[in-house]
Amino acid sequence: APSGANSSTNDIERQRFFTGGAEARAKKIYEGFGSGENTLTTGALYYHVTSPRIDKRGTTPDAVDGAVRKDADRQMNYVSIFAENFFKFGKLSVIPGVRLESVWQSVKENINLDKTTVPLADDSSFDFVPLSGLGVAYELPAGMEAYGNISQSYRPRIYTQAVPTGSGQVVNDDLEEGKSWQADIGVRKTPVDYFSWDAGFFYMVFNDQIGTSGSTVENVGDARHHGIELAGELDAIGWLDSLGQTGHGKETGSVNLFANIMALNAGFTKGPNKGKTPQYAPDFIFKTGIEYDRHGRAKIRLAGTFVDDHFANDTNTAQFIVPSYKVWDLTGEAKVYKDMVSLFGGINNIFDEQYFARVRSDGIDPAAGRNYYAGVKMAW
């Protein structure tokens, strides 16, 4: 928020996002390696984002319009090529995969009244990252399955980190995209038709995390995240049918109660923030809800997400604390023509929770209130 002589005004930021993309996939089932059927899946994904941004200064603290102070054109192009193969060796399944990702970003400033001694930005950046992963699953006795995965990922620079718009901000010449690898192991089981559970442990190492030190955008250090995740789902009608030896579920469908909790421990292991907690790393996230499923033809779901309080910066300052919050969403989908055409829609933040999940140097970024969406989905 503005300070000093401008403390009775406000900053108004408008960002628009226009997105278009396409994805193509091909699948081939074949026999080989003495393991019966194998499945090779390949594909490519492309999308383009145009995101103009305008910042204004209102004349009162509650103004909704004002004088333009910044105007920038931003664009991003993303291309991904991927392949994975599912191998089956009796009770053992092995799935190796590879992905090649390319990201182009550009920012062109048209107006920036904060820059009085430096030229307006007109720059671009490019990231190319090869990624790989491996998944393994093994069928255990009594219907239980053990699984494990290890994969690479990365976090590219966002617009303001690739080309900052502040008057005194600079970007290190050797700035690298953040890279990470994650491993997880667990067991899952469906002991009866109406109940299933999953328990797992995960460990992630994040190298070269991007952040700000003073007025410089740079790689601020390495971090590690580890924790456990527990999930369960119960079909209430199926359970009652089992107790009473009835068959109501065959007519009415299923009513599923579900819950998932993730407990996280995260901290920096290297760099100027060593010993502190990385941004946006709450100690726990809990999700729960109920879903009615009419034999796959129609579904309606009410789901809630509960997030513990956490920091929105890597230096863990009090001004950047995000208080705990909860959000409920209502979604629905129905097939209207065979399995080809479906209608879907939903209400996000159905109870209109007032909260924020992001804090920036100029104040909080309020989360969206109650909002609606609807659409048509076609598959063939």
Q: What angle do CA 304, 231, 276 make, to 5 degrees?
A: 75
User: Do 163 and 123 form a contact (C-beta atoms < 8 A)?
Assistant: yes
Report which of residues 220 and 50 the model is more confident about.
50
Strand pairing class (298-307; 92-112): unpaired
Joined together, the tokens standing for residue 91 give 């009770």
* Most confident segment among 68-77, 151-160, 228-237: 228-237
Give me the mean pLDDT over the 357-367 stretch.
81
Q: For the chain, what percent of residues have pLDDT higher than 90?
A: 62
| Cα–Cα distance for residue pair 324/282, rounded to 1 Å | 9
Q: State the pLDDT at residue 330.
A: 98
* Tally of residues, the chain: 380
Give me the mean pLDDT over the 73-79 stretch.
94
Does residue 6 carry a pLDDT above 60? no
Q: State the pLDDT at residue 61.
A: 82
Nearest Cα neighbor of 125 from 101, 110, 106 is 106
Does residue 79 carry a pLDDT above 90? yes
Report which of residues 8 and 285 the model is more confident about.
285
Q: With b meaning 16 or more CB within 10 Å and e meaning fewer, what string describes 162-189?
A: bbbbbeebebeeebebbbbbbebebebe
Which of 32-36, 162-166, 287-291, 359-363 is predicted with the least confidence, judged by mean pLDDT? 162-166
Report residue 162's pLDDT band, with 50, 70 and 90 as the boundaries.
low
| Cα–Cα distance for residue pair 14/63, rounded to 1 Å | 13
Does residue 32 carry a pLDDT above 90? no
Give me the mean pLDDT over the 157-172 stretch.
62
Nearest Cα neighbor of 35 from 98, 123, 95 is 95
Tell me how many helices (H) and strands (E) the chain has. Answer: 3, 22
User: Do 68 and 54 form a contact (C-beta atoms < 8 A)?
Assistant: yes
Give me the mean pLDDT over the 284-293 stretch.
98
Instruction: List domains and CATH numbers for the chain.
Output: 63-378 (2.40.170.20)
Give me the mean pLDDT over the 286-303 stretch.
96
Give me the mean pLDDT over the 298-322 stretch.
93
Report which of residues 352 and 279 the model is more confident about.
352
- By CB atoms closer than 10 A (0-12, 13-18, 19+), residue 82 is middle
Q: State the pLDDT at residue 308.
A: 97
Does residue 5 carry a pLDDT above 60? no
> Long-range CB contacts (< 8 A, 24+ apart) of 369-377?
371/347, 372/345, 372/346, 372/347, 372/348, 373/345, 373/346, 373/348, 374/343, 374/344, 374/345, 374/346, 375/343, 375/344, 375/345, 376/341, 376/342, 376/343, 376/344, 377/333, 377/341, 377/342, 377/343, 377/344
CA dihedral 231, 237, 239, 242 (to 10 degrees): -150
* Most confident segment among 23-32, 108-117, 170-179: 23-32
Report residue 125's pLDDT band, with 50, 70 and 90 as the boundaries.
confident
Does residue 166 carry a pLDDT above 60? no
Which of 38-47, 184-193, 198-207, 311-320 is predicted with the least confidence, judged by mean pLDDT? 311-320
CA 304 to chain centre: 16
Give me the mean pLDDT over the 54-82 stretch.
91
Joined together, the tokens standing for residue 313 give 């910066």
Q: Residue 265's CB: how many other CB atoms inside 10 A?
A: 12
Give me the mean pLDDT over the 127-149 stretch.
94
Give me the mean pLDDT over the 283-287 stretch.
98
Q: State the pLDDT at residue 11.
A: 82
**How far separated are the first and last CA of the chain, in Å rounded?**
51
Mean pLDDT for the chain?
89
Nearest Cα neighbor of 237 from 258, 262, 255 is 255
Q: State the pLDDT at residue 214.
A: 56
Map residue 351 onto helix, strand or coil. Answer: coil
Report which of residues 368 and 134 the model is more confident about.
134
Give me the mean pLDDT over the 202-211 stretch.
87
Strand pairing class (321-322; 195-213): unpaired
Which of 108-122, 265-279, 326-340 is predicted with the least confidence, judged by mean pLDDT? 108-122
Report residue 3's pLDDT band, with 50, 70 and 90 as the boundaries.
low
What are the angstrom distances between the C-alpha of 95 and each of 40, 83, 89?
Answer: 10, 10, 11
Does residue 364 carry a pLDDT above 90? no
Report residue 231's pLDDT band, with 50, 70 and 90 as the boundaries.
very high
